[in-house]
Amino acid sequence: MQRQGLTLGTYKNIRIGLDYSWFVMFVLVVFMLARYFFPQNYEDMAAWEAWLLSVLAALLFFVSILLHEFAHALAARKRSVEISEIILFIFGGLAKMKKEPERARDEFVIAGAGPLCSFIIGLLFLGLAFLLEPFIREGLHGVFWYIGYINILLVIFNLVPGFPLDGGRMLRAAIWHYSGNLRKSTRIVSNMGQIFAFVLMFTGVMVIFGGGLIVGIVWIFVGMFLLQSAKSGYYMVAMREGLSGIPVGKIMTTNPSTVHPNVSIKNLVDEYFFKNRFSCFPVMRNDEFVGLVEINQVKAVDRDQWQYTRVSDVMTPRDALRTVKPDTDAYDVLMQMIDAGSGRLPVLENGELVGIISRKDIMQFVEFREALGT
């Protein structure tokens, strides 16, 4: 699997990752708290204390987001939906499913688990802020109040009925349950999600004109992210319906051009990449498939070393490759490519190479089906 950023650890085979973009949001949250929240609510607080409490509050905020995603993951596991990893990134968190739920009620429960967790966290910290106010420093009370308040806001935001937010997924599950049409359900909540995204971007512009430059920019970027996610969410469902039940052998490129492992990188570039316009070639030795060589692997070699470097020196060996069979469901293959961060996979039958399947092959197949209405 392609890894994003730093690995914090694993829990029940679920990788916990931290995308590098998370640090941008962390710094921004700390800055906003230290410069605005604490000084405005606690005028006598020293600057060093405001910054220290801001770091604590930001860490607790992101821990609560992590727990939100864990709630999704554990609910998914209970319903036999595999979660590969949980990623914290600039716009929050994401529990990556290897495959979407097959039943509407499963999606409803999985989507609802996150907001329920955030609601409990919010009530817990607001309760602590109320009960402990006479016994703790006012700054720490502010941290508890902030975490409770922000988690309740997180619940409200996530329950907006637009894809890909949790509320949109829950609404899609409900429509799917009563209509039996996943694609139609996704189209409805995807459109609602896009409308909400435009509202956020418009709000961001208005906030900027009102003097809130940083907050306005954040809203615009969140809106852009939601807009793209809403569109891609519907596209993936269309792909799912267009590919399910279609064997990859029907889509793959058969009899692909191959290269011998002893060919030099210079010869590979001149005689294969430039002439065939392919970015990847299977590597064959005496009719035996031994690996795959890609253009990115060639780019990593200094140009003055091309004539001395062989394909076998840079290729990915067969044992390190993920492979599929001709009768594998095309949608499952697409999910494997996304999971592995790969653009193509070799197709083997009885240990022999029979073709190459790429994302481009799959996309073109779906586009042709859409155009022909089949």
Place of tokens 């459109």: 191
Q: What is the model's pLDDT at position 87?
A: 86
- Find the DSSP H helices in the chain: 22-32, 38-41, 47-78, 104-132, 138-158, 166-179, 182-209, 213-243, 265-268, 274-276, 295-299, 311-314, 330-340, 359-372
- Is 301 within a domain? yes
Tell me the pLDDT tens digit for each residue of 111-153: 999 999 999 999 999 999 999 878 878 888 899 999 999 999 9
The token pair that represents 216 in the structure block: 């306005």
- Is 165 within a domain? yes
What angle do the packed helices 213-243 and 359-372 form, to 10 degrees?
A: 70
- Is 128 within a domain? yes
DSSP 317-333: EGGGS--B-TTSBHHHH
Whole-Å CA distances, 194 to 149, 171, 234, 266: 27, 15, 11, 48
- Is 47 within a domain? yes
User: Residue ranges of the chain with pLDDT lower than 50?
Assistant: 1-2
Q: Which of 243, 277, 296 is the last residue of a domain?
A: 243
Q: Are residues 216 and 252 in the same domain?
A: no
- Is 265 within a domain? yes
Q: Are residues 213 and 274 in the same domain?
A: no
- Is 1 within a domain? no
Q: Which of 190, 220, 243 is the last residue of a domain?
A: 243
Q: Are residues 253 and 237 in the same domain?
A: no
Q: Are residues 163 and 93 in the same domain?
A: yes
Q: What is the model's pLDDT at position 1?
A: 44
The pTM of the whole model exceeds 0.75: yes
- Is 26 within a domain? yes
Q: Are residues 72 and 204 in the same domain?
A: yes
Q: How many domains does the chain have?
A: 2
Amino acid (one-letter) located at 227: L
Of residues 344, 347, 310, the one with CA closest to residue 326: 347
- Which domain covers residue 314, as residue numbers? 248-372
Q: What is the model's pLDDT at position 213?
A: 84
Q: Are residues 292 and 214 in the same domain?
A: no
Q: Are residues 354 and 287 in the same domain?
A: yes
Q: Are residues 238 and 196 in the same domain?
A: yes
Tell me the pLDDT tens digit for each residue of 191-243: 999 999 999 999 999 999 988 888 888 889 889 989 998 888 888 887 887 78
Q: Are residues 312 and 228 in the same domain?
A: no
Q: What is the model's pLDDT at position 84?
A: 83
- Is 90 within a domain? yes
Q: Check which CATH number belongs to the domain holding 337 and give it.
A: 3.10.580.10
Q: Which of 185, 211, 243 is the last residue of a domain?
A: 243
Place of tokens 């890909």: 164
Q: Are residues 332 and 206 in the same domain?
A: no
Q: Are residues 54 and 188 in the same domain?
A: yes
Q: What is the model's pLDDT at position 3?
A: 52
Q: Are residues 167 and 101 in the same domain?
A: yes
